[in-house]
């Protein structure tokens, strides 16, 4: 019996036709500036003041080779300067370049269909730039990055990045110089889909940093994004910097997973990875992997990585920096790994992971081994629940129990605990400090094993669908 009512947020398709020059009630802004040509658009940008909304008429605008739409020295305030397509997707920008920003702040660019052929950049001399409700499908040639963010306090939300067959990354986050990272970037409610590049790597949807920036804290939040058929790289979200939050995303039917490739102190929480290949892979120190649901993956679901080095540091060579840093002091708690080909596993590099806590996780499978770790040092294994025809593998005997968790499938396809499950109230890691579960249910002081805390209340968070993200999302 299903124990929950599945609440699915919806986006009304008709919203796509609502002009962005008006509110839903139809009242226009007093500061709206209508334009219908590239010359008018550039003139309006040059004269824009805080609070102005430059409204671009629907149509196709081809920017001449060597030219751009320049936003230079323009600074909004709490009242943003907004450049917006009259209807979502109605203004199509073609040519080599579209908008080129410099020395500007508090600018919003909304509702455009970007069809340009070279990288769009938010440079480090800008701040508080927002790209929202746009459609990105650049020319599918070569391997350019589509969007590079170097500015602090930027927002990338409710966009659709889609249909690429060559190498290249949808969103790259960098910073100034060779080691710094852009600060406080917020990437949310975007839809990433259909990257079919078949090379070994080089086609991530999101890359936060690069090896030389690994030790710099970025404080980025990547949340509520949907990834579908993202097959350009084994890493859908590639983290190569420190102190980032990756939460509440859904990765479905994709080659790529969530990989903490370089850096320390990141949080991976409440993500659904369903029906693809790779899951979560972690390197570096002091990460928290909490409340994730990994199901039906044909590759490795959760990898606690070994290293070619122990702790990246500022004195290492570039070659040393590009190597893998063994995973140390991670806390891996309240995750559900269900019916994956590879469940919880390790690797065989020189430096073994050490001092990792693996507690209160649910592992269910019918083939292979549920745990297949390589060498480890100082691990804590505590109250994990295992079930299925798969063997236990090499998990220590005191670190688990074996019992049927009594899972029940909801209308969203997610397997959750049902009444009477031995997972209910059985979690024991006292220092977990996990406030809620993957659905948004409060954990309380007596917690359940796995990503799901048993509840009969409606689900608050669920695997995302296309209606939850992209230009027409709420």
88-141: per-residue pLDDT in tens?
Answer: 999 999 999 999 999 999 999 999 999 999 999 999 999 999 999 999 999 998
pLDDT at 23: 36
pLDDT at 472 over 50: yes
pLDDT at 29: 52
pLDDT at 107: 98
Domain 13-20+133-468 part of CATH 2.40.110.10: no
Confidence grade of residue 323 (pLDDT, cut at 50, 70, 90): very high
Domain ranges of the chain: 13-20+133-468
Mean pLDDT across the stretch 435-456?
96
pLDDT at 31: 77
Report the percent of the chain where pLDDT is more than 70: 93
What the block records as the tokens of 133 is 């409700």
Q: Are 241 and 213 in contact (CB under 8 A)?
A: yes
Q: Are 305 and 324 in contact (CB under 8 A)?
A: yes
pLDDT digits (tens, 9 = 90+) for 336-352: 999 999 999 999 999 99
pLDDT at 5 over 70: no
Report in angstroms the alpha-carbon separations of 53 from 23, 34, 110, 280. Answer: 13, 8, 10, 42
Residues 6+ apart with CB under 8 A from 294: 273, 279, 280, 301, 302, 335, 336, 337, 338, 340
pLDDT digits (tens, 9 = 90+) for 253-312: 999 999 999 999 999 999 999 999 999 999 999 999 999 999 999 999 999 999 999 999
Confidence grade of residue 142 (pLDDT, cut at 50, 70, 90): confident
pLDDT at 14: 35
Residues 6+ apart with CB under 8 A from 470: 158, 159, 160, 189, 190, 191, 226
Average pLDDT, the chain: 93
């Amino acid at each position: 019996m299903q124990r929950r009512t599945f609440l699915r947020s919806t986006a009304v398709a008709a919203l796509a036709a609502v002009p962005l020059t008006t509110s839903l009630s139809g009242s226009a802004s007093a500061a709206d500036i209508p334009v219908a040509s590239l010359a008018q658009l550039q003139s309006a940008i040059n004269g824009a003041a805080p609070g102005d909304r430059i409204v671009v008429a629907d149509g196709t605008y081809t920017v001449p080779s060597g030219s751009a739409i320049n936003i230079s020295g323009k600074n909004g305030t709490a009242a943003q300067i907004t450049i917006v397509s009259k209807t979502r997707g109605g203004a199509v920008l073609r040519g080599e370049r579209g908008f080129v920003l410099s020395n500007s702040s508090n600018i919003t660019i909304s509702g455009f269909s970007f069809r340009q052929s070279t990288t769009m950049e938010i440079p480090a001399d800008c701040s508080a730039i927002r790209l929202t409700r746009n459609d990105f499908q650049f020319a599918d040639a070569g391997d350019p990055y589509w969007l590079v963010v170097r500015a602090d306090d930027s927002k990338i939300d409710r966009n659709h990045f889609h249909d690429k067959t060559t190498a290249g990354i949808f969103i790259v986050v960098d910073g100034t110089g060779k080691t710094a990272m852009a600060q406080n970037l917020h990437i949310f409610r975007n839809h990433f889909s259909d990257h079919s590049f078949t090379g070994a790597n080089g086609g991530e949807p999101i890359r936060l940093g690069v090896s030389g920036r690994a030790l710099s804290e970025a404080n980025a939040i990547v949340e509520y994004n949907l990834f579908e058929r993202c097959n350009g790289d084994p890493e859908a979200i590639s983290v190569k910097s420190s102190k980032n939050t990756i939460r509440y995303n859904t990765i479905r039917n994709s080659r790529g997973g969530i990989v903490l490739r370089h850096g320390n102190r990141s949080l991976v929480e409440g993500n659904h990875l369903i029906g693809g290949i790779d899951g979560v892979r972690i390197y570096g120190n002091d990460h928290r992997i909490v409340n994730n649901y990994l199901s039906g993956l044909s590759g490795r679901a959760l990898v606690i990585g070994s290293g070619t080095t122990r702790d990246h540091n500022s004195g290492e060579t570039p070659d040393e920096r590009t190597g893998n840093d063994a995973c140390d002091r991670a806390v891996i708690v309240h995750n559900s790994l269900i019916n994956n080909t590879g469940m919880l596993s390790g690797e065989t590099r020189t430096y073994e992971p050490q001092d990792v806590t693996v507690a209160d996780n649910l592992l269910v499978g019918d083939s292979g081994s549920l745990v297949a770790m390589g060498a480890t040092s100082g691990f804590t294994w505590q109250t994990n629940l295992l079930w299925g025809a798969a063997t236990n593998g090499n998990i220590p005997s005191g670190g688990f129990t074996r019992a049927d968790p009594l899972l029940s499938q909801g209308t969203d396809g997610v397997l959750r605990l049902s009444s009477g499950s031995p997972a209910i109230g059985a979690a024991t890691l006292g220092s977990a400090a996990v406030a809620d579960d993957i659905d948004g249910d409060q954990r309380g002081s007596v917690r359940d094993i796995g990503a799901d805390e048993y509840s009969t209340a409606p689900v608050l968070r669920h695997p995302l669908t296309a209606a939850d993200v992209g230009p027409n999302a709420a």
